[in-house]
A and B are shown apart, each in its own frame.
Chain A
C-alpha cells in the first residue's frame, strides 16, 4: 500500500509534505511565542538583572557579581533558606507518608459509595484555594479563641502559641500544608496501588505473609516509582511555599517562618532591590533544577519496575 503519509525523504517543504509542515508549525506557534516571550525571555532577563542594581526609578547599573557576594553574607537569606528547607522536609514527608498510608488503608474491599465518600472528603481541601483555607486555619490556631487550643485544653494541655512562637510557627505551616495536600498524594498513590498486579498479593498470601510484611516487602517496592514521583513533585512545590505563610504568620515572629519566595518578593516589590531579588531567584531556580535532575536520575536507577 503506497504511503499517503508524510514522506521524510522528500524534505519538509516538498509539495506533498508542505501542508503538514506548515500546519504543524502554525499549531504550535502560539505556544512557542508564549514560551519565548513569557518564559525564556524573562529567564534570560533574570540572569541579566542579577548582575545589575535596579530600583525601578533610576537607571539600572551593572554591578557584576556583587549581588551574589552579598547573598553569601546575607544572614536573613540563610535563615529563610533554612526555614524553607525545614518546611520542605517535614511537609513532604508528612504528605507523602500519610498519603501512601491512607491510600493503602482505603484500598480494600468496601462499598464503592463509602470509598468515594472518603476519597471526596480527603481530596476536598486540595481543591479549595490555599488563601481561603489558610484564613480559616489562622482562626483555628489562635491562642486564646482558637478551636484547637480549646480542645487541647480539655485534655489538660496548656494553650499552645501556634503562630506567635518562633519555635512553633513553621510547624503550624507544615500542619496546614499536610492537611491540605494529603488528599492529592493519596489519590496519586491510589492510582499507583491499583496498577500493582494482584498476583503478587496472592503469592504473598499463599506464603502466609503477614500484612505488615506484605506492605514492606511487596507494596512499598512496587509503589516506589509513584512514591518517587510524589516526593520530587512535592519537594519542588514545597520550596515555593508562600501563600500559607503570608496568611498564617506573615513570616514571623521576625523571620522565624519566612520562606525563600517571601524574601524574593520582599526584596523585589517592597525594597525594590530588583537586581538582588533576581539573584536570589536564580538560587531558587538552581534548587528546582537540581530537584528535577535528581528525580530524573533516580527514576532511572532506583525505581523497581515490574
Chain B
C-alpha cells in the first residue's frame, strides 16, 4: 500500500517536472498564434484555440527584419563548421588511436590542454587576429578555426579528437593488420575501413557540433556584426526591444518560434538517436 502510494507520488513529481520543462515552449508557440493585441493578456493560454491568428508571423515577415537571411547564415555556418570540424577531428583521432609516430603522446597531451582554455580567455587576441586577417564580419572567422579542429563554437577542438580516438581504440587491431598485409596505404585504410565503421560515432559528433554551432551567440556576437552576416541568435537579439514595447515583441515571439521549430521537428523525429548521441559523448568526455 505504502509502496503503491510512493510510486504514484514519484509519477506525479516526474510528471509535474516534465510539464515545467515543456511549459515555456507551449506558452511561446501559443502566444505566437494569438492576435497581437491579446498576446500578453492574462490568464495565459497554453494551447492555441479559437481566435488563433498568424498576425505575429505576418508582421515578422513583412517587417524589415531579414529573418530569412538569419536562417540562411545559421544554416551555412553550422553546416560548414560541422563538416570541417568532424573531418579534421576524425582523421586526427584515427591517427592518435591507430598510427605510430614520434611525440604522439606528448602532442595529444598538448591538445588536451586546450580543453582548459575557454574561448572567453583568448577572445581579444582572436579578434585582433581575425581583424589582421581581414576576416572580421565574415563567416570564415568562425569556419576556419572549426575546419582545423581548433575549436567549434562552444566546444573545444580536442573534444572531437578525443571522442573519435576513444572510438577507434575500441576497434580490433586485426582489422587494420589485414589491410596492411594487402599493402593498402594508410589513408586508404582510414577511408575504406575506419570511417565506415565509425559511422554512428561520426553522426553523433556531427549532431553535437551542428547543434552547438547553431545555438552559439558568443562567437557570432564578436565576429559577425553587420546585419547581413548575423546568425539567428544574434539577429533575434538585435530586434528585441529590452523595454518590452509590444509592437516589436510580437515579431520577437514569432522569430523565436521559427528559430526553435527546426530543432523541435528534428527532435520529435529522432529523439532517441539525439539523446544517445549526447549521452555517448558526455560519458566518454
Chain A residues within 8 Å of B, Cβ to Cβ: 4-6, 8, 12, 17, 19-21, 23-25, 27-28, 30-35, 37-43, 45-46, 49, 102, 105-106, 108, 116-133, 135-137, 139-140, 142, 145, 147, 150, 179, 183-184, 187-188, 190-191, 236, 240, 242-243, 246-247, 250, 261, 264-265, 268-269, 274, 277-278, 281-282, 284-285, 288-289, 292
Contact = CB atoms under 8 A, between A and B. Distances in A.
B107 interface: yes
B186 A23 contact: yes
A125 B21 contact: yes
B129 interface: yes
A201 to B, nearest CB: 15
Contacts of B21: 121-122, 124-125, 179, 183
Given A45-B128, A129-B259, A20 B13 contact: no
B5 interface: no
B80 interface: no
A28 B102 contact: no
Given A30-B88, A129-B215, A135-B240, 4 more contacts: A5-B177, A38-B150, A135-B256, A187-B279
Name the residue among B24, B177, B187 with the largest chain A CB count within 10 angstroms: B24
B180 A5 contact: yes
Contacts, number: 273
B187 A4 contact: no
A21 B44 CA distance: 65
A133 B24 contact: yes
Interface stretch (B51-59, B61-69, B111-119, B196-204): B111-119
B110 interface: yes
Contacts of B158: 35
Contacts of A127: 211, 263, 267, 274
8 contacts: A23-B99, A37-B129, A43-B121, A45-B128, A125-B21, A190-B279, A191-B282, A288-B118
B224 interface: no
A121 B22 contact: yes
B215 A264 contact: no
Given A243-B218, A268-B123, A120 B101 contact: no
Interface residues of B, number: 95
A124 to B, nearest CB: 6
Name the residue among A42, A46, A119, A289 with the largest chain B CB count within 10 angstroms: A42
Given A39-B150, A42-B129, A142 B244 contact: yes
Which 3 residue pairs of A and B lie closest in terms of their CB atoms, listed nearest first?
A34-B148, A24-B101, A34-B150
A145 B40 contact: yes
Contacts of B172: none
Contacts of B177: 4-5
Contact of B215 (A23, A41, A131): A131
A275 to B, nearest CB: 9
B118 A137 contact: no
B20 interface: yes
Contacts of B8: none
Contacts of B263: 127-129
B18 A30 contact: no
A299 B213 CA distance: 31
A117 B272 CA distance: 10
A147 B44 contact: yes
Contacts of B150: 31, 34-35, 37-39
A129 B101 contact: no
Contacts of A131: 215, 217, 233, 236-237
B37 interface: no
A35 B116 CA distance: 13
Interface string B213-234: 0111110001000000000110
Contacts of A264: 120, 123
Given A128-B215, A243-B217, A49 B18 contact: no
A80 to B, nearest CB: 13
B218 A242 contact: yes
B96 interface: yes
A2 B16 CA distance: 65
Contacts of B27: 136, 139-140, 147
Contact of A136 (B10, B24, B110, B218): B24
Contact of B233 (A105, A132, A139, A281): A132
B94 interface: yes
Nearest to A98: B17
A49 B124 contact: yes
A32 B115 CA distance: 14
A106 B186 contact: no
B256 A19 contact: no
B126 to A, nearest CB: 5
Given A31-B150, A129-B232, A140-B24, A19 B115 contact: no
A147 B123 CA distance: 37
Contacts of B218: 242-243
A251 B104 CA distance: 45
Nearest to A13: B102
A240 B217 contact: no
Given A20-B100, A27-B92, A132-B233, A240 B120 contact: yes
Contacts of A250: 242
A20 B43 contact: no
